[in-house]
Amino acid sequence: MAWIQQDDLTQNIQGADGNATVEELTELGLTVDTVETTTCTVCHNPHGQGKGSGEPNTATVRISSSTPMLPAGFKAVGVGRGALCMTCHNSRNGARNDVATTTADDRVPHTAAQADVLMGQNAYFVKVGERGAHSFIADTCTTCHNVLTAPPEDLSYNLAGTNHTFAADMEVCSQCHGAFDGGTEPLMAERSLSWWRKGWRN
């Protein structure tokens, strides 16, 4: 698989006109020999499919429970099926935090840094490895993005199986967090600031 020189990663992928041409992508080193299309088999082993509709869901994923060392400079341990998501959705830039301030280059982080945020990695003013509460949900990412969010009707027979658009439904959030309105936003901001202030003093 090819890794793009990151520079301004978003601009590189979008190309000059916002819709990269084959020529622009080839200049980045992406060719049919180095790029794998994102199909079912990227995440799932076609020879060990399991059962994806009904209960229990026994669909298998290629990586589960914990990740190997990620390009972002850490391992995510005990994260269930979300380990698979984290193998791609990390900053891919080595460790960068209050302790690891020297890095090999000045690349910007990969634009999908969800694993870093979830696992408390590669952030300044945050204790290294102080995991977010969502990292302790069973199967982390996949619980809200695949299992609890119903699949769109046009992509699913009888709404069976899991949601593979990966877009989480805000109704899922409200099951744990309650209703969100403009009045709760200042409370959330103050809570975040109090955690930051506490970390800054320590």
| Residues 38, 133 share a domain | no
Q: Residue 13 above 90 pLDDT?
A: no
pLDDT for the residue numbered 34: 75
Residue 4 lies in a domain: no
The pTM of the full predicted model, rounded to 2 decimals, is 0.71
| Residues 105, 38 share a domain | no
| Residues 83, 25 share a domain | no
Residue 56 lies in a domain: no
| Residues 74, 142 share a domain | yes
DSSP state of 154: G
Residue 171 lies in a domain: yes
**Structural domain harbouring 160:** 65-199
Using DSSP's 3-state secondary structure scheme, residue 65 falls into: strand
Residue 58 lies in a domain: no
| Residues 99, 28 share a domain | no
pLDDT band at 1 (very low <50, low <70, confident <90, very high): very low
Rounded Cα–Cα distance for residues 89 and 72 (Å): 10
Rounded Cα–Cα distance for residues 167 and 174 (Å): 15
| Residues 92, 25 share a domain | no
Residue 157 lies in a domain: yes
| Residues 189, 154 share a domain | yes
Residue 174 lies in a domain: yes
* Tally of CB atoms within 10 A around 188: 11
Any idea which of 29-43, 138-152, 156-170 has the lowest mean pLDDT? 156-170
Residue 168 lies in a domain: yes
Q: Roughly how many angstroms between the first and final C-alpha of the chain, as a whole number?
A: 42
pLDDT for the residue numbered 15: 67
pLDDT for the residue numbered 129: 87
